[in-house]
Amino acid sequence: MLNILLAVIRRDLLLAWRRRTDVFTTLVFFVIVASLFPLGVGPEANLLRTMAPGVLWVSALLATLLSVTRLFAADYADGTLEQMLLSTEPLPLIVLGKVSAYWLVTGLPLVLLAPLLGVQFDLPQGAIGVLSLSLALGTPALSLLGGIGAALTLGLRGGGVLLALLILPLYVPILIFGAGAVGADAAGLGAGAHLLLLGASFLSALAISPWATAAALRIAME
């Protein structure tokens, strides 16, 4: 089982490297959206620190939403996805491998870039650490839930808009917990409760999403 998972991750990482322009587009989008806010609202430090958690988390959410539509699109276009469905290997395991590779090339870079962007908002060092931890817990959940939407809208015209309508309600709690963790830490209230809720959201998505995504893919391919 582990060998299958690693093989899927290795394959998708290789394909992502060959299409690395798409990956860079997502990262550039994240950086541009997060960087425009300090330029637009001015250099007021207290205002920047207050809005930083929400801005960075919304930027990460939008970057994920922009790129998750491509999760199964290439395999659907060249017929590989059909072969995956016909394979004797568990489809939820294949889905988990693809989502894991997607997070490694999209979500993980967002986590690594967040501290640098936090400096633009004059966040203290402790708040930057909480921001990185919250994104490390939250972005995998965003990827897992996004996989469900990507599977449900696979092959549909205007699927990107429909994907946003389907997935955004599921993203909102993660956004609230993630931004709330940084805000609570900055206010001296402690971020533990918010981080625990983020962890619970991630584990819930990990338990449910691969099977829900696999079922959605079978429906989409019928």
pLDDT value for 211:
93
DSSP letters for 181-204:
HHHHHHTTS-SHHHHHHHHHHHHH
Rounded to an integer, what distance in angstroms lies between the CA atom of residue 177 and that of residue 99? 22
| Greatest Cα-to-Cα distance within the chain, rounded to the nearest angstrom | 59
* Positions in the chain short of pLDDT 50: none
pLDDT value for 39:
80
Rounded to an integer, what distance in angstroms lies between the CA atom of residue 18 and that of residue 89? 26
SS (H, E, C) 18-40: HCHHHHHHHHHHHHHHHHHHHHH
Rounded to an integer, what distance in angstroms lies between the CA atom of residue 109 and that of residue 64? 11
pLDDT value for 80:
81
| Residue-wise pLDDT tens digits, 139-160 | 999 999 999 988 888 877 766 7
pLDDT value for 158:
65
Using alpha carbons, select from 140, 120, 133 the residue that is nearest to residue 191: 133
172 burial class (0-12, 13-18, 19+ CB within 10 angstroms)?
Answer: exposed
Q: How many CA atoms lie within 13 A of 13 on its CB side?
A: 13
